[in-house]
Amino acid sequence: MDLGLGLEDTHVLVTGGDGIIGSIIVSAFLSAGANVSSLDITHPQDSQPSVESLSPGKLLNLHADITSTSSLTTAWDFATSAFGTVECCIAAAGVDLSVLPQSGITDMDPSTWNRIFTTNIHGTFLTTKFWLRGLRDHISSSSSSSSANTEIKNPGFIIIGSEAGHFGVETQAAYSASKSAVQYGLLSSLRVEVPKIHARARSNAIAPGAVNTPRFQEETNGAGTRRWWKECEATTGLKKPVEVEQVARSVLFLASERWSGNVHGQCLNVDSGKQGVVVWEYEGDDGGKEEEEKVLMDG
């Protein structure tokens, strides 16, 4: 039995590839020997982007705005010219919760709601559309659908969602609603459509809990504080945040047809056992007794 991931030479396209989580996902695929197209709005616009050989994988950084059809078209054309059909697509781009103004619906600016929905939902929709059309075009250009199915490696689409899509966030309903939309509504629709485009293609999502990034450390003032306890210990069975590398490893598991070939239409929770009630009391100076009884709705 071959226990390798089997991702070598697979063309993997990652949106949001320059983000904190996206960049680790890119590195993980490169380590697995994949050819990675990293799309991000922060990548410089380059009329002649070049492929970097980062043994065992290869990397192509491309500027792209996932909310723009023309921008995605340009980036996708560069990607397919370099590595061929996008076989596996990771939709990691989106407006991050940590950079959003915190406000209840009563006082929320409608423009904030629209901006989040445009990026997180419309952007993911366009990304999905480009990936599916690429698979369809590959099949139609091949001599037969059976030969096309053989040529494509690890066909799959993975949405990076959030625990906020499960539990909600009192001060950022737009973000929570946008994540619910893609990791439930969109994913459920893809469950049927995707295999009709390509018989072996799969679609799944990952919903990370509080991820232990430098920004998270800054926001919570680090381990031992009440904010840290509330965000990543109080309601998680493992009583700890999620390491970025664990998110990336979970993505590679779902991307690998060898390892997860029958996993389809699922949202994998990578959240240290997140629950809707407090399971660990605060061990700081004030004891945190009030919070022990509460149902926390923070994402």
Query: In 154-230, which ranges are continuous DSSP H helix?
Result: 164-167, 173-180, 187-197, 214-220, 226-228
Return d(Cα 75, Cα 94) in angstroms, integer.
Answer: 17
Tokens of 214: 């430098």
- Strands of 88-91's sheet in order across: 52-54, 57-63, 35-40, 11-15, 88-91, 156-160, 202-208, 267-270
The reported pLDDT for the residue numbered 146 is 52
The reported pLDDT for the residue numbered 285 is 65
The count of other CB atoms within 10 Å of the CB of residue 291 is: 17
Answer CATH for 11-213+241-273 from 3.40.50.1360, 3.40.50.720, 3.20.20.150, 2.40.30.10: 3.40.50.720
Return d(Cα 238, Cα 230) in angstroms, integer.
Answer: 13
Give pTM, 2 decimals: 0.91
The reported pLDDT for the residue numbered 103 is 87
C-alpha angle 97-100-101 in degrees, rounded to nearest 5: 135
Over its length of 299 residues, how does the chain's per-residue pLDDT go in tens digits?
Answer: 889 999 999 999 999 999 999 999 999 999 999 999 999 999 999 888 999 999 899 999 999 999 999 999 999 999 999 999 999 999 999 998 878 888 899 999 999 999 999 999 999 999 999 999 999 999 988 755 455 455 899 999 999 999 999 999 889 999 999 999 999 999 999 999 999 999 999 999 999 999 999 989 988 889 999 999 999 999 999 999 999 999 999 999 999 999 999 999 999 999 999 988 898 999 876 544 444 444 344 44
Q: Which residue has the tokens 């929770």?
A: 269
The reported pLDDT for the residue numbered 47 is 85
Return d(Cα 141, Cα 1) in angstroms, integer.
Answer: 34
Residue extents of the structural domains in the chain: 11-213+241-273
The reported pLDDT for the residue numbered 98 is 79
